[in-house]
Amino acid sequence: MMKFKILNHSLANFLGLFLFLFFPGLIMSQTTDNTSFENNLKDSIQESSEFNFLMIGVSYTNNNIKYKTLDADIKMPTFTGDFSYYHKSGFWASVNYANYFKANITTYETEIKLGYQHTFLDFIDLDFSYAHHDFKGDKNYEGISYNHSINGSINLNSKYISFTADAYSMYGLSNNYFSELGTSFNLDIDDLFFKNDFFLFNPGISASFGTDDWIFEDFTPVQRFGRKRFLKGQGYSTGTFSYQSLSFLVPIIYSYNSISLSLSWFYNIPSNKLKALNWKDQNGFMISVFYSPSL
């Protein structure tokens, strides 16, 4: 009888404990289910956002350059075209064409790029690419003379602020290495005027650093020596990796379905060293139209 009572007591204890522990477990399991549901929703969004798409873009920039020695700005208006394909695996390829139509002879450059981009943890974007570059025409319109370029960038994105670090190298007449550190403010609005439209206001500031071999790359030995001595006399070192410019970029993009229209304003302030070479500042606007259908 005593044994039965102890057994009964133990059983009651066990059942009580079971109810106490198991039912909260079931309640928790409901919570887990909800969490699972949210996760599945998030996963579905993630999966569906991994899509293939084309991007075809045409841009025009007026690109004004000022020199201390000239009263008027030098204008180098440019038409550019870009055709890109982005695969959901992260790999992408693009062909870029720029035409300097104010040049006396036909002047253009092309760039073929292959790259890979990946987003980690929903807020870190990584992008690596290789580019083959070709320039034809008036050499006065050529920036850095390069055939190959390797680029890498990392973006840290929050809802309103993004931080960017770019590193790129260019190999050609001279080998040059650059990096760019920047931050931008992101404001995007859905359904601004119509259903399925998208508005992005993304002003940013960035500082550029790099080597300076490209400045002297097509100088004669005498010109190179003279210019380097001049800079040294002004207190600037050459052949070093140093600060080169501060840039402001204010892009406004409005998209409706697969069509986007963008207007960007930019301003570039060269470093004191580049100012010593009579470069003042550079500003302009760029207007672009993009067509980017998902495939």
Partner 1 sequence: MKLVRFSLSFIFIMLVGSVFSQQPPVKTTEIQTKTNQADPTKKNNIKTVPKAQLQQSQLKKINQTKSKIQVQKLKTAIRKSSIVRKKGKK
233-252: contacts with partner 1 (CB under 8 A)? 245, 247, 249, 251
Site string for partner 1, 52-91 (x = CB under 8 A): -x-x-x-x-x-x-x-x-xx---x-x-x-x-x-x-x-----
Number of amino acids touching partner 1 (CB under 8 A)? 89
Q: Which positions from 156 through 185 interact with partner 1, judged by CB under 8 A?
A: 180, 184
Q: Minimum distance between the CB of residue 291 and partner 1, rounded to whole angstroms?
A: 11
- In the structure encoding, which two tokens stand for residue 80, read together? 């550019």
**Are 264 and 222 a contacting pair, CB within 8 Å?**
no
**By CB under 8 A, residue 28 contacts partner 1:** yes
Interface pick for partner 1 out of 99, 238, 255, 271 (rule CB under 8 A): 255
Cα gap 143→109, rounded to integer Å: 10
**Are 188 and 197 a contacting pair, CB within 8 Å?**
no
Cα 246 off chain centre by: 16
Interface pick for partner 1 out of 99, 211, 238, 262 (rule CB under 8 A): 262
Cα 53 off chain centre by: 18
Interface pick for partner 1 out of 8, 29, 234, 272 (rule CB under 8 A): 29
Start-to-end Cα distance in the chain: 78
**By CB under 8 A, residue 231 contacts partner 1:** no
Cα gap 30→36, rounded to integer Å: 9
Q: What stretch of H or E contains 90?
A: none
Q: Which positions from 129 through 148 interact with partner 1, judged by CB under 8 A?
A: 139-144
**By CB under 8 A, residue 110 contacts partner 1:** no
